[in-house]
């Protein structure tokens, strides 16, 4: 017969397995990103490093202090709400955070706040395994281009920059996503945090090394792009643009890492090893019978599952009722806008329409329902082909329509390969609520789903040459002709 202690851990294991099954798409996506991308490969080492930190930390000398019933209920309901919001919004990051948060949550419910505080550093660092950071790419592309142009000017090279395009007399270059250095930055920054907390005890050393872990990859990537352009400037275009481009980049990054962690080795403090046979949890007495988490956590997981499977079908039914019977999902979306300079890419949209409005052209992209494979906010969706266009400027403005409706939009100024400039206005509508912020769009969708009022989502884009006044667009628009 199993002891209460073993039963409790088996119970928690079943909860973990149930959570993984519930958000299987998000969990598998996280593992795939660990295994297949340079940007998030560090996620494979985060949990083992956190376990290493716990094993090498002296045991806490404190008596057990179980979490109170009300605190356990609050924590469990908060976790269940996070899981539910992540599931309804279809945001993988929220679901992945909910999954990883089971680690510190289990420690708090099983051992109490004092033990969790003792191991606070590794329990917080486990969240670095969540793959997030792609939103930094445009910012890093701009920073890298700024640094490269500055260094080229400083060394007397004639250079012209237009957005992410950099031109010198010998060749033209574009700072692509792969040149942003986001993979090098995220991995190096994460490793520098773990290194500082494992091998350094003084806070000023930790802060300085973590800052270096952020600044060094950022600055070195700009230097790398500058060196690649300089190689082309002095006549070796093949080395600057071909296979050697990648080889030199990796050699450069390895060299930078050696320098960075050599500094860390020089700064490291002597680490006191834990006492022999002093296991981290030796002095911890599990409060199995007294811990409300024994029943609160599975209860709230059950509430999250029931709410998810009860609300989602109702909203899917509501969305299907709003779907016109004459809409074909495969209505040759790939051909819409063919031959035009700007073509949004939303491959899983239910319908896409294009309308001529003088010098302006309007795309309406409709989603009558969403699921894990079909989302209006997704990495698959693109407002423009980033291999052709680069962002010169982006700002948030508002459009006052003819009927008095105010629509928030993102205004993009894009530069093409030939130097042509276009303006692109983008916004989203969720059940008649407008927003240009992607996180707000997800929040609006969750709100409408919980209220059982979700009637679909819409993405709208308008584009024209940069010299066209916006007033020519706004006087032709009314809210009733836009949002479904």
The pLDDT score that the predictor gives to residue 426 is: 92
Please name the residues in contact with 416: beta carbons below 8 A apart, sequence gap of 6 or more: 341, 388, 389, 422
Number of DSSP helices (H) and strands (E) in the chain, helices first: 16, 10
Question: Which among 353, 321, 324 is positioned nearest to 336, based on CA atoms?
Answer: 353
**In whole angstroms, what is the distance from residue 300 CA to residue 297 CA?**
5
Contact 396, 408 (CB under 8 A): yes
Contact 431, 404 (CB under 8 A): no
The pLDDT score that the predictor gives to residue 133 is: 82
Burial state string for 241-271 with b = 16 or more CB within 10 A and e = fewer than 16: eeeebeebbeebbeebbeebbeebeebbeee
The pLDDT score that the predictor gives to residue 443 is: 87
Angle formed at CA 334 by CA 328 and CA 340, multiple of 5 degrees: 125
Contact 481, 458 (CB under 8 A): no
The DSSP bridge partners found for residue 286 are: none
pTM for the model stands at 0.71
The pLDDT score that the predictor gives to residue 278 is: 47
**In whole angstroms, what is the distance from residue 11 CA to residue 199 CA?**
36
Angle formed at CA 316 by CA 312 and CA 320, multiple of 5 degrees: 175
In the chain (484 residues long), the average pLDDT of successive 10-residue segments reads 58 69 79 84 87 80 66 78 80 85 81 82 90 83 87 85 78 76 84 86 87 89 84 66 55 79 81 49 41 52 57 49 45 58 85 85 87 83 84 85 82 83 90 86 84 83 86 72 63
Q: Residue written as tokens 């709003």?
A: 322
Work out the number of other CB atoms within 10 angstroms of the CB of residue 416.
Answer: 18
**In whole angstroms, what is the distance from residue 130 CA to residue 442 CA?**
19
Work out the number of other CB atoms within 10 angstroms of the CB of residue 275.
Answer: 10
Question: Which among 122, 100, 121, 150 is positioned nearest to 49, based on CA atoms?
Answer: 122
**In whole angstroms, what is the distance from residue 426 CA to residue 74 CA?**
39
Q: pLDDT, tens digit, for every residue of 214-240?
A: 998 888 888 888 888 888 777 665 555
The pLDDT score that the predictor gives to residue 12 is: 64
The DSSP bridge partners found for residue 391 are: 414
Contact 166, 141 (CB under 8 A): no
In angstroms, the Cα distances linking 309 to 88, 141, 204, 328 are 10, 41, 49, 27
The pLDDT score that the predictor gives to residue 477 is: 73
**In whole angstroms, what is the distance from residue 162 CA to residue 417 CA?**
9
């Amino acid at each position: 017969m199993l002891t209460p202690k073993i039963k409790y851990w088996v119970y928690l294991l079943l909860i973990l397995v149930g959570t993984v099954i519930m958000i299987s798409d998000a969990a598998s996506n996280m593992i795939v990103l660990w295994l297949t991308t340079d940007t998030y490969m560090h996620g494979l080492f985060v949990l083992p490093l956190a376990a290493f930190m716990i094993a090498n930390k002296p045991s806490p000398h404190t008596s057990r202090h179980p979490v109170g019933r009300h605190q356990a209920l609050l924590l469990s309901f908060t976790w269940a709400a996070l899981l539910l919001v992540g599931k309804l919004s279809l945001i993988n990051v929220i679901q992945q955070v909910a999954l990883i948060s089971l680690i510190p949550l289990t420690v708090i419910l099983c051992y109490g706040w004092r033990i969790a505080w003792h191991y606070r550093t590794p329990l917080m660092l486990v969240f670095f395994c969540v793959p997030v950071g792609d939103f930094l790419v445009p910012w890093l592309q701009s920073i890298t281009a700024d640094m490269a142009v500055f260094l080229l000017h400083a060394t007397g090279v004639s250079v012209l920059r237009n957005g992410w395009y950099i031109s010198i007399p010998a060749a033209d270059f574009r700072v692509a996503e792969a040149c942003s250095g986001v993979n090098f930055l995220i991995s190096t920054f994460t490793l520098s945090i773990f290194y500082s907390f494992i091998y350094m005890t003084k806070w000023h050393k930790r802060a300085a090394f973590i800052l270096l872990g952020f600044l060094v990859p950022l600055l070195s990537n700009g230097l790398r792009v500058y060196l690649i352009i300089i190689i082309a400037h002095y006549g070796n275009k093949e080395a600057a643009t071909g296979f050697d481009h990648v080889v030199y980049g990796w050699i450069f990054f390895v060299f930078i890492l050696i320098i960075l962690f050599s500094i860390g080795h020089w700064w490291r403090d002597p680490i006191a090893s834990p006492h022999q046979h002093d296991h981290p949890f030796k002095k911890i007495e599990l409060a199995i019978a007294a811990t409300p988490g024994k029943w609160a956590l599975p209860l709230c997981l059950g509430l999250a599952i029931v709410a998810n499977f009860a609300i989602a079908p109702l909203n899917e039914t509501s969305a299907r009722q709003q779907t016109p019977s004459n809409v074909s999902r495969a209505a040759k979306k790939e051909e819409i806008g063919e031959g035009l300079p700007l073509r949004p890419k939303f491959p899983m949209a239910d319908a896409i329409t294009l309308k001529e409005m003088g010098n302006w052209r309007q795309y309406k992209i409709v989603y009558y329902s969403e699921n894990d494979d079909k989302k209006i906010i997704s990495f698959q969706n693109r407002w423009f082909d980033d291999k052709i266009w680069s962002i010169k400027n982006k700002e948030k403005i508002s459009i006052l329509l003819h009927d008095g409706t105010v629509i928030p939009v993102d205004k993009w100024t894009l530069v093409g390969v030939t130097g042509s400039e276009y303006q692109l206005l983008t916004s989203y509508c969720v059940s008649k609520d407008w927003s240009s912020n992607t996180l707000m769009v997800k929040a609006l969708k969750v709100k409408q789903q919980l209220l059982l009022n979700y009637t679909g989502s819409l993405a709208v884009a308008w584009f024209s040459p940069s010299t066209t006044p916006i007033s020519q667009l706004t006087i032709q628009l009314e809210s009733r002709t836009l949002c479904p």
